[in-house]
Structure 1
Amino acid sequence: MRALVADRSAPGGLRLGRAPDPDPAPHQALVRVEATSLNYGEVSNVLQEAADGDILGWDAAGVVERAAADGSGPAAGTRVVTLGPAGGWAELRAVDTALMGVVPDGADLGAISTIPVAGATALRALHRLGPILGRRVLVTGATGGTGRYAVQLARRGGAHVTASTGSPERHGDSLRALGAHDVVAEPLKVTEPVDGVVDLVGGRQLVDAYGRLAEGGTLVAVGHSAHEDETFPYGALYGDQGRHDRSMTTFFLLACAGLARDLTWLAQQVAAGELSPHISWRGGWDEAGEAVDALLGRRLHGKAVLDFT
C-alpha cells in the first residue's frame, strides 16, 4: 500500500512511499483511507521523535474494506471516520471498531477527517465541565482545530462563550461567527469569572485561566502548545473569597469509552452543516511537507486536510 512514512531527509519529515498492508486484529476493521487531517501535536511532537519508516496519523476517514472478524463495528462498504494512535497516514488502516464512527452518505470525507482528535477532544472536555446551559465558558487557544470545535459546541450547549486568542483583531470575526460572544487576547482580559475553562495552551495561560474560575468552576487542561511549566503563585489555590470548590482535571482521549457514538454524532453534525470543520489548508498527500511546515510555523488556524487520491 501507499503511505506517508517518516523520513528525516524529506521536506516536513515525510515522504510518500510504500509499506506492507496492515494485518487487522479480530476487533479491528480494515479501512481504505480517503482523507486525513493533521494535528499540531502529532507534527510537533510525535513526528519529530518518530523513526524513519514509521507510519503515523491519528485521524482518518474512508470506507470499510473488510469488517472486523469478531462481528463488531460497521459492515464492509460503510463510510467511516476513525481514530487511533498511529496508522492514519496510509492507504489502508486497521482500526479498533470502538474508535470508528459511521459517516452519512454524501458527506465530504475531507471535512469529516477533521473530527477525531479535534472534535472528540472538544466534546469530551465540555462533558467534564458538566451542564453549561446558562454558564460562562472560556476557551483558550480558540483559533486551533480543537478550539474552534469547542467554541461551537459550547455555544450549542447554551453557554456564554469567551474565546481567547493571541490576535483578536485578526480572528475575532471568525470566532464570533462560530458562536463566541466575546473574544479576548488572554485569560487576564476576561472581565467576569467563568464557570468552566477548556484550556488548549497550558503554561502561564492555564494558570491565569484558573484564576478566572468562579466558585464551583472547573478547568479542563487539554493542550500544551505553550511548552511552558505551569507555576502557580502562592495563594492561587486558596479556597476563600469566592474560590471555593474549584477544580482542574485532565483526560486521555484514547482511554475514553463510547467514542464510536461521539464520532458518529460529530460526523452527522459536520455533514449537516451544524458544525464547521474550518479547513484552512487542503491538498494531496504528496503535499504533506507543505502542510507540516505551515503547522509548525503557526501559519494555519484551523485544520489541515490531506486527500489520498
Structure 2
Amino acid sequence: MRALLVDRSAPAGLRLGRAPEPEPAPHQALVRVAATSLNFGEVSIGLQQAADGDVLGWDAAGVVERAAADGSGPAAGTPVVTLGPGGGWAELRAVDTDLMGVVPDGADPGAISTIPVAGATALRALHRLGPLLGRRVLITGATGGTGRYAVQLARRGGAHVIASTGSPERHGAGLRELGAHDVIADPGQLTDAVDGVVDLVGGSQLVDAHAQLTEGGTLVAVGHSAHADETFPYGALFGDQGRHDRTLTTFFLLGCTGLARDLTWLADRVAAGDLTPHLAWRGSWDGAAGALDALLGRRLHGKAVLDIG
C-alpha cells in the first residue's frame, strides 16, 4: 500500500512510498483511508521521535474494508472516523473498534477527519467542567482546531463562552460566529471570574487562567503549545478568598473509554452542519510537506487536511 513514510532525508522528513499492509488484531477493523487531518503534536514531536519508515497519523476518515474478526464495530462498507496512535497517513489502517465512529453517508471525509483529536479532546475537556448551562467558560488558544470545536461545543452546552486568542482583531469576528460571546487577548484581561477553563496553551496563560477561577471552578490543561513552564506564585493555590475547591486536571484522550460513541455523535453534528470544522489547509498528500511547513510555522488557524490517494 502507499503511505507517507518518515524519511529524514526528504523535505519535511516525509516521503510518499510503499509500506506493508497492516494486519488487524481480532478487535480491529481494516479501514481504507480517504482523508487525514494533521495535529501539531504529531508533526512537532511525533515526527522527531519516529524512526525512518514509520507511518504516523492520529486522525483518519474512510470506509471499513474488512470488519473486525471478533464481531465488534461496524460492518464492511461503513463510512467511519478513526483515532489511533499512528497509521493514519496510509491507504489502509488497522483500527480498534472502540476508537471508531460511524459517519453518515455522503459526509465529506476531509471535514470528518478533523474530528478525532480536536473534536473529541474538546468534548472530553468540557465534560470535565461539569454542567455548562449558565456558566462562564474560558477557552484559551481558541483559534486552533481543538479551540474552535471547544468554542462551539461550549456554546451548544449553554455556557457564556470567552475565547482567548493572540490576535482578537484578526480572529474576533470568526470566533463570535462560532459562538464566542467575548474575545480577549489573554486571561489577564478577564474582569469577572470564570467557572471553567479549557487551556490549550500552557505556560503563563495556564497560570493566569487558573487565577481567574471562581470557587468550585475547574481548569482542564489540554495543550502546551507555549512550550514553557507553568510556575505558580506563592499563594496561588491557597483555598481562601473565594478560591475554595478549585481544580486543575489533565487527561489522556487514548486513555478514555466510550470514544466510539463520542466520535459517532461528533460526526453526526459535523455532517449536519451543527459543528463547523475550519479547514485552514487542504490538498493531496503529495503536498504534505507544504502542510507540515505551514503548521509548524504557526501560519494555520484551524486544521490541515490531506486527501489520500
TM-score range, shorter chain: over 0.9
The one-character-per-residue Cα deviations of 1:105-143 (angstroms, maximum 9, x if unpaired) are: 110010000000000000000000000100000000000
Where does 1:88-99 land on structure 2 (aligned, <5 Å)?
88-99=88-99
Instruction: Provide the residue aligned with 1:270 in structure 2.
Output: 270
Where does 1:78-227 land on structure 2 (aligned, <5 Å)?
78-227=78-227
User: How much does 1:9 deviate?
Assistant: 1.5
User: How much does 1:59 deviate?
Assistant: 0.1
Amino acid at match of 1:126: L
User: How much does 1:285 deviate?
Assistant: 0.5
Provide TM-score, normalisation by structure 2.
0.99
Instruction: Provide the residue aligned with 1:248 in structure 2.
Output: 248
Question: Equivalents in 2 of 1:224, 1:85: separation in Å?
Answer: 19
The one-character-per-residue Cα deviations of 1:75-105 (angstroms, maximum 9, x if unpaired) are: 0000000000000000000000000000001
Amino acid at match of 1:92: L
Aligned residues: 309
User: How much does 1:174 deviate?
Assistant: 0.5
Instruction: Provide the residue aligned with 2:63 in structure 1.
Output: 63
Question: Equivalents in 1 of 2:292, 2:308: separation in Å?
Answer: 16
Aligned with 1:173: secondary structure? helix
Aligned with 2:195: secondary structure? strand
Amino acid at match of 2:63: V
The one-character-per-residue Cα deviations of 1:22-74 (angstroms, maximum 9, x if unpaired) are: 00000000000000000011101101221111100000000000000000000
User: How much does 1:10 deviate?
Assistant: 1.4
Instruction: Provide the residue aligned with 1:14 in structure 2.
Output: 14
Amino acid at match of 2:96: D
Does residue 308 (structure 1) correspond to residue 308 (structure 2)? The answer is yes
What CA RMSD, in Å, does the superposition of the two structures yield over aligned residues? Answer: 0.5
The one-character-per-residue Cα deviations of 1:136-187 (angstroms, maximum 9, x if unpaired) are: 0000000000000000000000000000000100100100000000000000
User: How much does 1:13 deviate?
Assistant: 1.2
Unpaired runs of 5+ residues, structure 1, are none
Aligned with 1:153: secondary structure? helix
Does residue 38 (structure 1) correspond to residue 38 (structure 2)? The answer is yes
Aligned with 1:290: secondary structure? helix
Aligned with 1:129: secondary structure? coil
Instruction: Provide the residue aligned with 2:230 in structure 1.
Output: 230
The one-character-per-residue Cα deviations of 1:247-267 (angstroms, maximum 9, x if unpaired) are: 000000001000000000000
Question: Equivalents in 2 of 1:306, 1:36: separation in Å?
Answer: 5
Amino acid at match of 1:65: E
Which 4+ runs in 1 deviate beyond 3 A? none
Question: Equivalents in 2 of 1:146, 1:251: separation in Å?
Answer: 15
Unpaired runs of 5+ residues, structure 2, are none
Question: Equivalents in 2 of 1:68, 1:140: separation in Å?
Answer: 39
The one-character-per-residue Cα deviations of 1:176-202 (angstroms, maximum 9, x if unpaired) are: 000000000000011110000000001
